[in-house]
Structure 1
Amino acid sequence: MLLSIRSTRGSDISIDRRGMRASAMALLLALLGFLLVAGDGQMLYKDSRQSIEARIKDLLRRMTLEEKIGQMTQIERAVASQAVVRQYGIGSVLNGGGSAPAERAAPNVWEDMVDDYQIGAMSTRLGIPVIYGVDAVHGHNNVYGATIYPHNIGLGSSRYLLILSPSIFFLPFWYEKFLGLFLRDPELVRRIGAATALEVRATGMPYAFAPCIAVCRDPRWGRCYESYGEDTQLVRSMTKIIQGLQGSPPPSHPSGYPYVGGPSKVVACAKHFVGDGGTVKGIDENNTVTTYRQLVQVHMGPYLDAIAMGVSTIMISYSSFNGIKMHANRFLVTEVLKNRLGFQGFLISDWEAIDRITDPPKQNYTYSVLTSVNAGIDMIMVPFDYQNFINILTGLVKSGAVSQSRIDDAVTRILRVKFAAGLFEAPKANRKLNNKVGAEDHRELAREAVRKSLVLLKNSARSGSSKNILPLSKTAPKILVAGTHADDLGLQCGGWTITWQGGSGQTTIGTTIRQAIANTVSQSTQVVYEQSPDANFVKDKGFSYAVVVIGEQPYAEIAGDNLNLTIPSQGIDTIRNVCSSLRCAVVLISGRPLVLEPHIDMMDALVAAWLPGSEGQGVADVLFGDHDFVGKSSRTWFKRVDQLPMNVGDMGYDPLFPYGFGMTMRQQ
């Protein structure tokens, strides 16, 4: 695989020759494969005019057991190569968070890598393309320079304001402000899904492990920001992002059948089935203890909508249901999801998840393979020890422990998605899409999403003043911007950004909140930035007001589990030092509600910005009054952690801010 072009003429010629030799070998092997199968009748599976089911039937009957098990195997790009894909007939390749062909790899470098795997796949006997998957969970977040959207907790808080005309009610015009309706904005997430699909396709990838449609019932969970909110109906409304990622199936499309609407769309993956957001104390990969009825009522609903929209794949959860690992739960995976709900795409495991069926992980890998495949999982995200997996599953089938019909069901579903996605007709990257990565219209969309997701929790006037601090003045002579998160793009984006856990600093391309403020105020306004000012720095410096931006450090999955949910001490010190002397608006960057009650009285304004992503200009758009706040909290804001779990509708519900709370700047 080639990642760069050398500067010397001799090296260039060498690269060309290697490419020619590889292409010639691929052509020769493909021709040999054609000759081997041509004697077995017409190859209907290569004829796009045939129905998908006819193509599957024709291809499946030609496949050996080894080729079928290869299709069920997903491996990480670090161990993948053209030769490995060809030798083992690998069905899928992925990259984990932070795994890339090169640091800050450009779109064409990603495309070269994926195309190289496809050359290996197309040169196999049957020429079945690989399907390359990536965690594109808030934009194409693994790729440097891609647009990073707010994480789902913010999108779940997004609203749009529908103004009802006063004339309808024969009321004077000034009643208009009382006739606005703040409505959920699933159309916004659909548009984000469509833009994300374009950027994913622009790097040669046809498969996104998104959306997460968990219903997070406890903010102590480290993946709570991947959930749209605590309310089932809210999460159900946000599943419309699938129509953006995959396209909208026509009315005649069969229910439960995978759908991908063309070369600008991707295969989506609803995750993580089921109950991942309901574990005890929010501990990641832990046990969800509840009745089946409650599991259905709280956690299952979003999957009904995803299946109705033609979602192509569903990822199984690490978690357990009443002590049974979901990856081993045949009742929920096969009887419920496949048989009762009629899902006809393929089910994929999570990363090394079948290893964790046993404790400690991989204690009995043969048992893990046997149990997960018989539970109904179709593709296994191995991701490294693929030879061992292939050998064990092959032995289990030959011994009769896993039936041939179970293997055929899995491969049928995998091929169905590959045919639906058009991979047999167009397996390689569409290089004309390269300019879609980080495109300006996508960044404008992300900026809109930031504006709509901000939640105003407090806006007040200090004694002696009749005016609330927000909106901030653009013409103040001198203002202070402070806090760890004010000028740090990595912290602003959170986990699952470039790397798995995220990071700090200029990790990708975007606009920090400090930069956004400087872009917004008048040229005569002096903007002073001090990350962690002490009390003396603030006093008698002539500041008109301060914007303090603080919050959590980035995290993902189990690393984010947190039983105390306090604002980091450095952030508290900054609030105390600044807000004791100046009027201050505090912007909280976090993946969930945090403990606020001891500190909120020090603040003149408080904004929950969640994890806004790369377009910090959206924050300034609202702080300075170009747009008003419309966001409504997708989560209950607790007073103390000993109240958790506490969700809207619970008995004894006593929040600091209730679910759905959010002010406008006109409100006290």
Structure 2
Amino acid sequence: MRPLRPLLLATALLLATAASCDSTPETKVDGPFRDSKRPVAERVADLLARMSLDEKIGQMTQAERGSISPEEVTEFRVGSILSGGGSVPTPNNRGGWVAMVDAYQKAALATPLGIPFIYGSDAVHGHNNVTGATIFPHNIGLGATRDPQLAEAIGAATATEVAETGVHWTFAPCVCVARDDRWGRTYESFSEDPAIVASMSSVIKGLQSQQVMATAKHYLGDGGTTGGKDQGNTELSIEELRRLHLPPYEAAIKHNVASVMVSFSSWNGTKVHGSEFLITKLLKEELKFGGFVVSDWNGVDQIDGAPGLSASDVRTAINAGVDMVMAPAVWREFIQVLKAEVEAGRVPMSRIDDANRRILAKKFEFGLFERTKTNRNTAAFGSAPHRALARQAVAKSQVLLKNSGVLPLKAGTGRIFVAGKNADNVGNQSGGWTLTWQGSPGEVPGGTSILKGIREVAGSGATITYAQDGSGLDKSYDVAVVVIGEKPYAEFEGDRMEGTGLDGEDKAVLEKVRALGVPTVVVVVSGRPLEIGSHLDGWNAALAAWLPGTEGAGVADVLFGRQVPSGKLPMTWPADGGHPANAGDGKAALFPLGFGLTY
């Protein structure tokens, strides 16, 4: 989803409003819907019978925090708010988030019926918008572990940190099946193989075990667009769509996933946001998905092909089965348009009621009516146990592609030279969706770079020298560890239609090292397989590290043999970065799906 630019609401105004909300009395309306001992269906029916059309439409509306004040939450009965990527309170820490979320919740409870709201955030590899959070490997790395139990544990740890900031809902996991590595969201996919993706959807169990709603996204076929184009067109028969892209959603539904987010992409030319067949017939009726369907960021606007939100967009999406519309800055217009469409009979009340039943059921099931204030007596956020879990996940995700005997390195002795732009850069190794939407090079508070991890694991008896560009390397060194790869990116801006070759900086440092003839270990930090075939002969060892997140010492654990490499490729590694390959398609591969050496 897209971040809001610019943010329209200063955090200072929000916090001032929070103080004023403290004096606002909460609703006194009572009834069976407030009795937590009653069945959810009974509570939903009682509350729904009390709601006006305005209140129902409010529950179907999601605004971005930068475009709505707490007073407007009360006035318009808005049922959900989100943070776009990089949209954060000041200060951007746990306390700042708690104050913000609780202020909005106070405003929601001040409405006549006192229906709590849901706050959503893209916690896609840890609570990655918040300073100090533990940042886990992106999904492509977790897919390399082939460990559903590890994914579940990471889900639980992430959800614990999410809940500690007051947030109720994460837009994760992405259960896309990436079939073209040029796509900028490839690293959000666990694998090109739908069976592997389905198995790793166990992360949902972990997330929801901590009373945080999970979201399976992006429904359906987002990883199969022609040419790997973001928001593009997936050109497949229904049989192939079912075979390649549906299994992870079947698995997610078995895990009782709370919500499903619709893809920006199209299927054979029709926007998924407007497809009644895919959303209602297939997802809700055939697969019996009982949660609610949320749109992506302004995704409804794209249905009719014209700029902006139109009546046609709104009625098509709602009638197709979208239950909640993410209308970040145009939420007022959405409310007005949907109300007019209902009053004109173009959107039936039965559809409005169905959407509300689904949304309200999750609010009851996840205890939002009973848990209206954030627990301030917690200590797990960015904790040592969570970072240890992340380090373990990093080590298990490493895929050893080549080794002529130089690995594992010997700790406590020798001279090791470290080079490359990704050796000492936690921002690069964490990738997109880290503090900002696209991510950025540089420091991530609390993070450990791969270089720092090497220094720690190598111990005081070893000599570690670092120069990003390779300057100072000579033949006195026993080995050179060169950490290359990609800089951060996210959706759209990460598309590489021209191919996935190494950049000039990487090529230059590799050439400098190769010319000296020092044994060379290359660590590839990337969100997808890169074109390395033409360079591989000059390397003594190669390790695919993916995007490991803040715990770079996990990479060092494998380099020095503290952990034996066990990762297996979640994607076919193409022979040519401009020509993607998948298992069974007959295209040339440098390394096949499932490849991975060990010591």
1:97 and 2:80 are equivalent in the alignment: no
Alpha carbon RMSD of aligned pairs, Å? Answer: 1.7
User: Counterpart of 1:455 in structure 2: which amino acid?
Assistant: V
1:408 and 2:395 are equivalent in the alignment: no
Q: Secondary structure at the match of 1:372?
A: helix
Task: Provide Cα deviations, 1:268-310, integer angstroms capped at 9, x if missing partner.
Answer: 1000111001000110000000100110011001111111111
Instruction: Give the TM-score normalised by structure 2.
Output: 0.96
Q: CA shift at 1:116, angstroms? A: 0.3
Contact 1:81–1:116 (CA<8 Å) still a contact in 2? no
**Counterpart in the other structure of 2:148:** 186
1:485 and 2:422 are equivalent in the alignment: yes
**Counterpart in the other structure of 1:255:** none
Task: Provide Cα deviations, 1:366-399, integer angstroms capped at 9, x if missing partner.
Answer: 2111111111100000011111111011100000
User: Counterpart of 1:488 in structure 2: which amino acid?
Assistant: N
Contact 1:476–1:544 (CA<8 Å) still a contact in 2? no
Which of 583, 589, 594 is the matching residue for 1:655? 589
1:23-422 equivalences in 2 (<5 Å): 23-27=22-26, 30-31=27-28, 34=29, 43-103=31-91, 105-158=92-145, 184-247=146-209, 264-362=210-308, 365-422=310-367
Q: CA shift at 1:642, angstroms? A: 5.0
Contact 2:217–2:262 (CA<8 Å) still a contact in 1? yes
Q: CA shift at 1:428, angstroms? A: 1.6
Contact 1:498–1:508 (CA<8 Å) still a contact in 2? no
Q: Does the C-alpha gap of structure 1 residues 392 and 607 become closer, same or farther in structure 2, counting only changes over 3 Å? A: same
User: Counterpart of 1:531 in structure 2: which amino acid?
Assistant: Q
Task: Provide Cα deviations, 1:150-178, integer angstroms capped at 9, x if missing partner.
Answer: 000000001xxxxxxxxxxxxxxxxxxxx
User: Counterpart of 1:59 in structure 2: which amino acid?
Assistant: L
Task: Provide Cα deviations, 1:56-103, integer angstroms capped at 9, x if missing partner.
Answer: 111101111011001100001112221011000001000011000025
Instruction: Give the TM-score normalised by structure 1.
Output: 0.86
Could you tell me how far apart the structure 1 residues matched to 2:431 and 2:21 are? 41
Aligned residues: 587
Which runs of 4 or more aligned residues in structure 1 lie more than 4 Å from their structure 2 counterparts after TM superposition? 1-4, 18-21
Contact 2:408–2:559 (CA<8 Å) still a contact in 1? yes
Q: Does the C-alpha gap of structure 1 residues 530 and 649 become closer, same or farther in structure 2, counting only changes over 3 Å? A: same
Which of 413, 438, 441 is the matching residue for 2:382? 438
User: Counterpart of 2:142 in structure 1: which amino acid?
Assistant: L
1:621 and 2:557 are equivalent in the alignment: yes
Q: Secondary structure at the match of 1:118?
A: helix
User: Counterpart of 2:353 in structure 1: which amino acid?
Assistant: D
1:589-604 equivalences in 2 (<5 Å): 589-604=525-540
1:523 and 2:460 are equivalent in the alignment: yes
Q: CA shift at 1:545, angstroms? A: 1.1
Could you tell me how far apart the structure 2 residues matched to 1:65 and 1:371 are? 19
Contact 2:18–2:99 (CA<8 Å) still a contact in 1? no
Could you tell me how far apart the structure 2 residues matched to 1:64 and 1:82 are? 21
Contact 2:21–2:107 (CA<8 Å) still a contact in 1? no
Q: CA shift at 1:359, angstroms? A: 2.9
Q: CA shift at 1:360, angstroms? A: 4.3
Could you tell me how far apart the structure 2 residues matched to 1:274 and 1:59 are? 32
User: Counterpart of 1:500 in structure 2: which amino acid?
Assistant: W
Q: Secondary structure at the match of 1:133?
A: strand
Could you tell me how far apart the structure 2 residues matched to 1:372 and 1:2 are? 32
Could you tell me how far apart the structure 1 residues matched to 2:37 and 2:444 are? 46
Could you tell me how far apart the structure 1 residues matched to 2:504 and 2:413 are? 30
Q: Secondary structure at the match of 1:607?
A: strand
User: Counterpart of 1:138 in structure 2: which amino acid?
Assistant: H
Contact 1:456–1:662 (CA<8 Å) still a contact in 2? yes
Contact 2:18–2:103 (CA<8 Å) still a contact in 1? no
**Counterpart in the other structure of 2:437:** 500
Could you tell me how far apart the structure 1 residues matched to 2:224 and 2:377 are? 43
Q: Secondary structure at the match of 1:78?
A: helix
Could you tell me how far apart the structure 2 residues matched to 1:642 and 1:478 are? 37
Which of 501, 509, 526 is the matching residue for 2:446? 509
**Counterpart in the other structure of 1:450:** 394
Q: Secondary structure at the match of 1:538?
A: coil
Q: Secondary structure at the match of 1:557?
A: coil
**Counterpart in the other structure of 1:575:** 510
User: Counterpart of 1:23 in structure 2: which amino acid?
Assistant: D
Q: CA shift at 1:438, angstroms? A: 0.6
User: Counterpart of 1:343 in structure 2: which amino acid?
Assistant: F
Q: CA shift at 1:520, angstroms? A: 1.4
Q: Secondary structure at the match of 2:71?
A: helix
Structure 1 unmatched runs, 5+: 5-13, 159-183, 248-263, 461-467
Identity among equivalent positions (%) equals: 47
Contact 1:580–1:602 (CA<8 Å) still a contact in 2? no
Q: Secondary structure at the match of 2:223?
A: helix
Could you tell me how far apart the structure 2 residues matched to 1:281 and 1:445 are? 36
Q: CA shift at 1:19, angstroms? A: 7.0
Q: CA shift at 1:473, angstroms? A: 2.0
Task: Choose 1 or 2 for highest CA Rg.
Answer: 1
Q: Secondary structure at the match of 2:106?
A: helix
Q: CA shift at 1:654, angstroms? A: 2.8
Could you tell me how far apart the structure 1 residues matched to 2:311 and 2:216 are? 27
Could you tell me how far apart the structure 2 residues matched to 1:268 and 1:539 are? 51
User: Counterpart of 1:234 in structure 2: which amino acid?
Assistant: I
Task: Provide Cα deviations, 1:147-205, integer angstroms capped at 9, x if missing partner.
Answer: 101000000001xxxxxxxxxxxxxxxxxxxxxxxxx3100000000101100001001
Could you tell me how far apart the structure 1 residues matched to 2:591 and 2:352 are? 51
Task: Provide Cα deviations, 1:497-533, integer angstroms capped at 9, x if missing partner.
Answer: 0100000111332100110111112313221110112
Structure 2 unmatched runs, 5+: 1-8
1:600-611 equivalences in 2 (<5 Å): 600-611=536-547
Q: Does the C-alpha gap of structure 1 residues 524 and 90 become closer, same or farther in structure 2, counting only changes over 3 Å? A: same
Which of 371, 381, 391 is the matching residue for 1:426? 371
Could you tell me how far apart the structure 2 residues matched to 1:641 and 1:112 are? 46
Could you tell me how far apart the structure 2 residues matched to 1:603 and 1:631 are? 20
User: Counterpart of 1:80 in structure 2: which amino acid?
Assistant: I
1:551-570 equivalences in 2 (<5 Å): 551-563=485-497, 564-570=499-505
Could you tell me how far apart the structure 2 residues matched to 1:73 and 1:546 are? 55
Q: CA shift at 1:431, angstroms? A: 1.2
User: Counterpart of 1:610 in structure 2: which amino acid?
Assistant: W
Could you tell me how far apart the structure 2 residues matched to 1:486 and 1:75 are? 39
User: Counterpart of 2:327 in structure 1: which amino acid?
Assistant: V
Could you tell me how far apart the structure 1 residues matched to 2:212 and 2:32 are? 25
Could you tell me how far apart the structure 2 residues matched to 1:19 and 1:325 are? 40
Task: Provide Cα deviations, 1:512-563, integer angstroms capped at 9, x if missing partner.
Answer: 01101111123132211101125xx3235x2221110011111001111102
Task: Provide Cα deviations, 1:113-161, integer angstroms capped at 9, x if missing partner.
Answer: 0000010000100000000001011111111110101000000001xxx
Could you tell me how far apart the structure 2 residues matched to 1:282 and 1:339 are? 30
Contact 1:455–1:609 (CA<8 Å) still a contact in 2? yes
**Counterpart in the other structure of 1:463:** none
Q: CA shift at 1:611, angstroms? A: 0.3
